[in-house]
Amino acid sequence: MKKIIRICILVSLFFAFAFTGAKAESGRLIIVNKSYHLLFAENNGHITNTIPITIGKGGESETPTGTFEITSIVHNPKWYFNGKVYPPYVQDSENGLGVCWMGLSLPSYGIHGTNEPFSPGRNRSHGCVRMNNKDIMKLSAESYIGETVKIENGNKNEISELLKPINLLYDTENVMQNAE
């Protein structure tokens, strides 16, 4: 009888901690603003991280808008593209996913690193949201499976125009740091 009681207590504790953790993370949200070419990590209404991003080129490569969830987080992923398999980025810098892939609930779309350090701030991807590798590593360390990702068009306005040179400076600084 004591054994059954212990098992019930352990199961109860497991569910209590599991649901407590989920509630603690529920205030976290990722917002992608396509006009600003920025990703915002938000926690309980406060922006905790702002990252310059690359979005889709347009047409069939347009980055979709909507509300999605993170379904996977894979470090050093293989890249399957145009019938070819690229080894992880650490082995082959041609791997367009960079050092991390965060899959979305929309199949074939995700948030990932890049092998093109000058691309954030531009429309160059095949529809995914990509960023420099050090940024995806930081974001993936703070993210979790089931986290909400909102991708919005945003407004083409004065602010989005003002952000273009900032994104360019950010890219230049990243490239110079990576070249050292």
Residues serving a catalytic function are 112, 128
Rounded Cα distance between 153 and 75, Å, is 28
Beta-carbon contacts of 43 under 8 Å, excluding residues fewer than 6 positions away, are 27, 28, 29
Judge contact between 34 and 121, C-beta under 8 A: no
Judge contact between 179 and 117, C-beta under 8 A: no
Report the candidate in 154, 95, 85 with the shortest Cα–Cα distance to residue 130: 95
Rounded Cα distance between 87 and 44, Å, is 38
